[in-house]
Amino acid sequence: MPASTITVTVKLFAAYQEACGVPEVQLNVEQGAAVALVRDRLIEEHPQLAQWRDLTRFGINLQFVEPDQPLCEGDEVVLIPPVSGG
């Protein structure tokens, strides 16, 4: 039996937004997939993001989470690469 698919909204910042050209995207993933899958899928589509793979932090619904945090239907995901500025 195939796993059920859910939709999450991904808010993009800094390098992720620049690479994707939009401030957010909607992705379909398997129910319970780890949030790191979102990062990996975006890197697959935009290989220039690979340099941020190990430096990206994750948030789900305004809470920082670990890369293995499972996703649920309707979650709002944020990918936060290192940023600098002043």
**Spans of all domains in the chain:** 5-80
Beta strand 57-60 pairing with 76-80: antiparallel
**Dihedral sign of CA atoms 85, 41, 31, 66 in order:** negative
Q: What pLDDT shows up at residue 8?
A: 98
Cβ(79)–Cβ(58) below 8 Å? yes
User: Cβ neighbours of residue 74 under 8 Å, at least 6 residues apart?
Assistant: 6, 7, 8, 9
H/E stretch holding 30 reads strand 24-30
CATH class (in words) of the domain with range 5-80: alpha beta
* 28-78 residue pLDDT tens: 999 999 999 999 999 999 999 999 999 999 999 999 999 999 999 999 999
Cβ(79)–Cβ(39) below 8 Å? yes
